[in-house]
Structure 1
Amino acid sequence: MTLKPCSGTEREPHWAKSSYSSDEGGECVEVATTPGTVLIRDSKNPDGPRLTLAPTTWAAFLPYAAEH
């Protein structure tokens, strides 16, 4: 998976959209990092809920996601 830059405001973290996401619907995921956290959201619902993970949790999840 590669990440494509998404626009953001200064108050918002810089969100990156997965290269597996499309503008035609389906599963769309964006990820942003802040000091000490990794944020995950649905790009179709940017004001909706976000997952907040510790960087170590995100790093442990990535190999699992790559296999599935």
Structure 2
Amino acid sequence: MHGANSRRCWPKLHLALDADSGETIAHTLTDQDTGDASPVGPLLDQIDGPIRQFTVDGAP
């Protein structure tokens, strides 16, 4: 506002969900500059049980 050039910075919340129950089973928070593929490992590390299916969105 008033000529100031400020860029808002928003964190990104990455979730792993159980598709059958809708329950959140893992989560991680990154900054806006972190690529969407980077949190996959930390998300998978939080899941104790077997993973039957892995699906990601195609959002840029």
Decide: shared fold, TM above 0.5: no
Q: Name the structure with the higher strand share.
A: 1
Q: TM-score range by the shorter chain?
A: under 0.3
With the length of structure 1 as denominator, give the TM-score of the two structures: 0.23
Q: Which TM-score applies when normalising by structure 2?
A: 0.25
